[in-house]
Structure 1
Amino acid sequence: MDSEITDFYKNKTIFLTGASGFLGRLVIEKLLRVTEVKRIYILIRPKRGVEIQQRIDTFMSSFLFSEVSKSNPNYKDRLSPIAGDCALPDLGLSVANRKLLTEEVQVMFHSAATVSFEEPLSTAVHINVRGTRLLVQLAKQMPRLEAFVYVSTAFSNCVIEKIGERFYPEILTCTADQMMSLNEQLSSDLINKMAPALLEKFPNTYTFTKALAEQVVQTEGRDLPACVFRPCMIMPTFKDPIKGWIDNFYGPISVIYGSGFGVLRVMIFNKEAKGNVVPADYCVNLTLASAWHSAKQAADRKVKMIESPEPTVYNYVPTEQNPIKWGKFMEFLDSRKHLYALNQMVWYPFLLVTSNMKIFELLIAVYHNFPAFLIDTWLRLRGQQPRMKKIYSKIHRGIRNITPFGITDWTFEMNNFERLMRCMSPQDQKLFGFDLRVLDWSEYFNSSLYGFRVFLAKENVTEESLRSGKKRFDRLLILNYLVHFVALSIPAGMVWCLLHLLNIV
């Protein structure tokens, strides 16, 4: 059976924001490898001293594009950069480029965003909210537009625990219009000082501004063939195009990275809460499939002369039929840590997990701060600059940033995800598969650890390298037992001596 989705993208002109990001590059790769798109325009920020084409060549030379380069050496010819920036007025587009996009684009993917949890509110509003409005307005000027996909996050409404596939304007302290108006009228310093009151229960500026951006799509994108894709924490690819590909340290990836090197030893998680993680390649497939389905639904409404409803929302998290809890997530990682042990690890990799903040702080003092103090003291005695305290301060700040997402047990509605699956042909379900109901989590985490070693730690998986890593792993395991034995023996000996002096023993 033919693929309806690949037929849909044949000879299409695409416009993509966030092209240099993790998901953006994977979307580009998939389109170039399995479809016959005519052209992909990508919005890319000019950088001082670096030509736009040079930036394109740099990220297109990544190992990620090795598969498509084998089948089509001229794959770059279908990619065209457009100078612009979501943080600038009118997206920083020239008159000529705006005219080009409005005349040619048929499918738009908006995934550009500042994803930093510590981004000042004024900056996050400029990029995530105003940038989205400008792109919606641009989309409305495109007479040939067939689909508009806004990539949001499953945590855009994280202040409630049961999240449906709908918009939640009622949870916001102000509307998107009001927030953008405040951002234009008041100074950045004042807006940032007002952030705690404006965010209210939102844990950071990222989730708050993504919720505001969704409201923009809801209210101003109603007449567009639009949908909103809400993925949870995106992990490495499973198999497509490369096993375990990853290039960032967001969310759980930072936990795997820090633990794998033996630096991160304490983490706060609710082991019984659902782990909201998904493979990156599955997210790409759902992104592309949702554009196809939006276009199909819009065409049907046009034939039947039905008024456009609100944009469809796709929540994307592990399903109730095949969940993964944080406790199981940790078990998978712990049981496989020896398979891809790093030659660069500084200590035996172990991770103590608790959901109690007081216990967490105690463990931090014992397993992070005290060793950091000893190492920094040793460095000072050698005349070197101490650095461990600074490193752990950064680690602890990162842990606190992701804590709300590791201890809250959300429930997500996923009816639209299932409807989309049912609309896809068997061929499309194979080529653009994203069914988490049948994902083998054990195999997936094995793939993720492989990718962590190869793409983040930059260590090969040759027999020699793996054997060397395993030897280091075994040596550090013995040393870890020895240190724990000594650390426990000293206070035990002191207690025994005290009891002996008191003639209790």
Structure 2
Amino acid sequence: MCSIILHPVLAKMIDTIATIPEFYRGKSVFVTGASGFIGKVLVEKLLRSCPDIGKIYILLRPKKNKTLEDRMKSITDKILFDKVKELHPENMKKLQFVAGDISEINLGLSPDNYDLLVNNVDVIFHVAATVKFQAPLSDSALINIRGTREICNLALAMKKKTILLYVSTSYCHHENQCIKEKTYEPYGDWRKTIKIAESMDRHILNVITAKMKGVKENTYTFTKAQAEQVVLDLCVGKIPTIILRPAIVFSVVDDPIPGYSEGFTGHIGILAGTISGLLKCINSSLSFRSEAVPVDYIVKGLVNSVWMKGTGQSEEPVSIYNGSCKELLDINNEICITASNNSCLKTCTVYNWYPHIVIIKSQMLYYLYSMIFQLLPSVIGDVFINLKIGKPFLVKVQRNVFASQSVLKYFSNNEWDIQNSKFVDIITDAPNDDNFIIKLDDPEFYENCALNTCNFIIQHYFNLKLTENPTSSTKLMILKTLYYMVHFAVYSILAYTLFSVVY
């Protein structure tokens, strides 16, 4: 067997590079968007896997009828932080909120909080954004573009040589079929966009937003692309800068809680809809490749990329990473739906219906199928709920499901080659520590991931206890038979009606 002998100088250099926990030791971090999915998982990871980290300051916006202390408690009381409380309970005291608002000038910080951050912060993770695809341009611009400008100004004012990491999105450059880990030409002048959002009438802005469709699919991708340009124009060459572009983010695969998830977007929403019986079909194709990435992969990319930049291993003016699943996971809709349907049957719960979802490529057939097997049962269900003096909600849910799929239609019907070799490197090879790298050696990865997410959804979304065993195979067989009998009956009626009309 051949062994590799390193040059003594190179070997010494590698030995002197601090490990990730050593790099973060004593460093204070500022996180925006810590109340969101990625932000919370990031904060938990830093507290647990970098136990000697300094303070973690998080920007929190006051909300009506809820104090900042209440908001902080609602974050730290989540099951996500249980491991930190068990392993390093003292670290919870390192988490400190600062009152502010990403959409305000100077982030809405008080002079004291501004000075606190300027004098103490070593690393900024700018995660906050409005992710509403159809948000008014004024709202999206003030949060995503102007908010990023204010973060950059804060970073430049820091007393220490602060590292800035901006969390963008892979889809902000969706007009390129191949999205590379590089900078792209600016989409208009971000300064003018901010000025327009600050001064122009909202009704006129709505007209401008409609015209924008020729350049970007929605206000989210448009403003995130311009926010990248803000970072490039203000920070590159002045402070160490990183841009990480996640694709679609789904539940935790392994670290810290398998299956942990938040919200009803993407794959999480599909599983929740399948388990509840409210979602029966998706308008897409079986061969469509999904760019979904586990949130713990993205968070390891965030933590590791800052370490790379801070230890001089990445000397680029700006380091750019695409957080997609290319070269990591081979996922298409057929694999996802099969795993979802199989995992629902293995989940330890009691079903009174057959949990099953199908993918329909034809838009016309999708509308027909969803009306018969989703909307009609929801209408009937709401009638019974109303008779029991309850508040009908099923049709409202179906309306939201339909609206969500309509908004995502562009992204579920188009595929991109999102190159991610640099991202893969930092989460598979960069650190020699199992806490910060991923391993792709599970042959049943998809079904295990879907099963863990299903179990989490049942327990923490629907507030149900898991049973000792899944629904009995006999009962599932009966439910499956009924499921196909109903389908056969509906298809027969439709076929007979069509035959009668034609002949």
Decide: shared fold, TM above 0.5: yes
1:415/1:491 CA distance change after superposition, 3 Å: closer
Match of 1:444 in 2: 449
Contact 1:340 1:469 in 2 (8 A): no
- Whether the 8 Å CA contact 2:134–2:218 is kept in 1: the answer is yes
Q: 2:485 aligns with which of 482, 487, 497?
A: 482
| Residue identity in the other structure for 1:102 | V
Deviation at 1:3, TM superposition (A): 6.4
1:278 aligns with 2:293: yes
Is the 1:326–1:406 Cα contact (8 Å) retained in structure 2? no
* Correspondence for 1:12: 27
1:163 and 1:410 in contact (8 A); partners too: yes
Q: Does 1:413 align with 2:419?
A: yes
- The within-5 A match list for 1:56-67 is 56-67=72-83
CA spacing shift, 1:234–1:472, aligned 2, 3 Å: farther
Q: How has the CA–CA distance of structure 1 residues 481 and 419 changed in structure 2, closer, same or farther, with 3 Å as cutoff?
A: closer
Alpha-carbon offset, residue 454 of structure 1: 2.8
Distance, in Å, in 2 between the alignment partners of 1:495 and 1:184 is 56
Question: Following TM superposition, by how much is the alpha carbon of 1:332 offset from its aligned partner in structure 2, in angstroms?
Answer: 1.2
> Equivalents in 2 of 1:457, 1:384: separation in Å?
18
User: For the residues of structure 2 that align with 1:498 and 1:151, how far apart are their CA atoms?
Assistant: 56
Give yes or no for contact 1:318–1:437 (8 Å, CA) kept in 2.
Answer: no
Aligned length: 485
* Aligned counterpart, 1:195: 209
SS of 1:207's partner is helix
Counterparts in 2 of 1:373 and 1:461: CA distance versus 1, 3 Å: closer
1:185 alignment partner in structure 2: 199
CA separation of 1:336/1:122 partners in 2, compared to 1, >3 Å: closer, same or farther? same
Correspondence for 2:144: 128
Contact 1:133/1:216 (<8 A) preserved: yes
Pick closer, same or farther for the CA change 1:221–1:21 going to 2, 3 Å. same
Give unmatched runs, 5+ long, in structure 1: 302-308
Q: Is the contact between residue 342 and residue 469 of structure 1 (CA under 8 Å) also seen in structure 2?
A: no
The amino acid across from 1:182 in the alignment is I
Tell me by how many angstroms 1:196 deviates: 1.6
C-alpha distance in structure 2 between counterparts of 1:385 and 1:460, whole Å: 25
The amino acid that maps onto 1:334 is: N
1:349 equivalenced with 2:355 (yes/no): yes
Contact 1:86 1:112 in 2 (8 A): yes
Q: Which residue of 1 aligns with 2:12?
A: none
Task: State the 1:164 CA deviation.
Answer: 0.7
Shift of 1:347: 3.9
Closer, same or farther in 2 for the Cα pair 1:342/1:211, shift >3 Å? farther
Q: Do structure 1's residue 366 and structure 2's residue 365 form an aligned pair?
A: no
Q: Is the 8 A contact 1:237 1:280 kept in 2?
A: yes
Paired residues of 2:138 and 2:197 also in contact (CA < 8 A):
yes
State the Cα deviation string for residues 42-85 of structure 1 (Å, max 9, x = none).
11012233221222122101111111111222222111110001
Answering whether residue 447 of structure 2 is matched by residue 432 of structure 1, we say: no
CA distance in 2, matches of 1:473, 1:357: 30
Q: Does 1:51 align with 2:55?
A: no
In the TM superposition, residue 393 of structure 1 has moved relative to its aligned partner by 1.7
Bigger mean CA offset, 469-478 vs 72-81: 469-478
Q: Which amino acid aligns with 2:104?
A: L
Alignment partners' CA distance in 2, 1:251 and 1:452: 14
Instruction: Give the aligned partner of residue 302 of structure 2.
Output: 287
Q: Is the 8 A contact 1:318 1:436 kept in 2?
A: no
Q: How far does residue 473 in structure 1 lie from its aligned partner after superposition?
A: 4.8
CA deviation after TM superposition for structure 1 residue 270, in Å: 2.7
Q: Deviations over 1:3-51 (max 9, x none)?
A: 6111100011111101111111111111111211111111101223322
1:398 match: 404
Aligned residues: percent identity? Answer: 27
Greater displacement, 453-462 / 129-138: 453-462
8 Å CA contact 1:338, 1:470 repeated in 2? no
Aligned to 1:155: 171
Q: Distance in 2 between matches of 1:75 and 1:422?
A: 27
Bigger mean CA deviation after superposition, 73-82 or 201-210: 201-210
| Alpha-carbon distance between aligned partners in 1 of 2:214 and 2:192, rounded to the nearest angstrom | 16
Counterpart mapping for 1:81-160 below 5 A: 81-160=97-176
Cα distance in 1 for residues equivalent to 2:264 and 2:252: 14
Match of 2:230 in 1: 216
Contact 1:146 1:295 in 2 (8 A): no
Return the letter of the residue paired with 1:401: V
Q: Is the 8 A contact 1:108 1:149 kept in 2?
A: yes
8 Å CA contact retained: 1:261, 1:346: no
Q: 1:353 to 1:423 in 2, by over 3 A?
A: closer
1:75-121 alpha-carbon deviations (Å, 9 max, x no partner) = 22111110001011211100111111111100110001111223211
Q: Could you tell me the TM-score, scaled by structure 1's length? A: 0.88
Question: Which secondary structure does the structure 2 equivalent of 1:74 belong to?
Answer: helix
Q: For the Cα contact (< 8 Å) 2:258–2:449, is it kept in 1?
A: no
CA separation of 1:346/1:400 partners in 2, compared to 1, >3 Å: closer, same or farther?
A: farther
Contact 1:12 1:39 in 2 (8 A): yes
Contact 1:15 1:109 in 2 (8 A): yes
SS at match of 1:19: coil
Structure with more contact order per residue of length (Cα contacts < 8 Å, sep ≥ 6): 1
Alpha-carbon distance between aligned partners in 2 of 1:483 and 1:413, rounded to the nearest angstrom:
44
- Provide the secondary structure at the position in 1 that maps to 2:397: helix
The one-character-per-residue Cα deviations of 1:434-476 (angstroms, maximum 9, x if unpaired) are 466988334333333333333323333340xx44587875554
Task: Measure the CA separation in 1 of the matches of 2:268 and 2:344.
Answer: 14
Map of 1:458 onto structure 2: 463
Answer yes or no: is the 8 Å Cα contact 2:349–2:470 preserved in 1. no
Contact 1:217/1:311 (<8 A) preserved: no
Partner of 1:304: none
* Maintained 8 Å contact 1:322/1:437: no
Unaligned runs of 5+ in 2: 1-14
**Structure 1 residue 181, shift from structure 2 partner:** 1.6
* Residue 163 of structure 1, CA deviation: 0.3
RMSD: 2.9
The answer to whether the 8 Å contact 1:319/1:437 transfers is no
Cα distance in 2 for residues equivalent to 1:292 and 1:354: 44
**Contact 2:340–2:450, Cα closer than 8 Å, also in 1:** yes
Matches of 1:247 and 1:470, distance apart in 2: 30
- The one of 235, 238, 259 equivalent to 2:274 is 259
| 8 Å CA contact 1:45, 1:85 repeated in 2 | yes
Cα distance change on mapping 1:61 and 1:487 into 2, 3 Å = same
Q: Which amino acid aligns with 2:303?
A: L
Amino acid at match of 1:417: F
- Greater Cα offset, 267-276 or 134-143: 267-276
Are the counterparts in 2 of residues 9 and 37 from structure 1 also a CA contact under 8 Å?
yes
Residue equivalent to 1:305: none
